Amino acid sequence: MILGVGIDLCDAGRMEKSITRQSFLDHVFAPEEQALLAALRDKHRAETAAANFAAKEAFLKAAGTGLGGFVMPELAVLRRESGAPYFALTGAAAAWAAEQNLTVHVSLSHERGLASAVVILETGTP
């Protein structure tokens, strides 16, 4: 059963400026995400950061918690070897997802300076 659906859009140009500040990176991205971003070239780095940020906000919308629901670094958006995105939840977010028996689905896209994310939270799945 679907618990929630969230969608968000983020401007990569705005993100490009924000990710130059370590305080912003630490506030928003988990260490694993920061390592992923550090390995990318400038334009792709900003697009990936924007997509990850959009995914975090989409997750919070799907969960119905709003921005105060969880600490952003607990909602790490990583990539499988294939490049497919997935959430690596930690802390309170991981505990909540386990309590709800959630499967988290995420899709990311970026085009012409905008990044988007869709998150579906599904309950009752293995």
Q: Which two tokens stand for residue 65?
A: 């918690």
Model's pTM, two decimal places? 0.94
Strand runs labelled E in 19-101: 75-79, 85-89
Per the CB < 8 A criterion, the answer to whether 115 and 13 are in contact is no
Per the CB < 8 A criterion, the answer to whether 117 and 75 are in contact is no
d(CA 99, CA 123): 10
Can you give the pLDDT of all 126 residues of the chain as single tens digits? 999 999 999 999 999 999 999 999 999 999 999 999 999 988 899 999 999 999 999 999 999 987 778 999 999 999 999 999 999 999 999 999 999 999 999 999 999 999 999 999 999 865
d(CA 77, CA 34): 10
d(CA 15, CA 113): 10
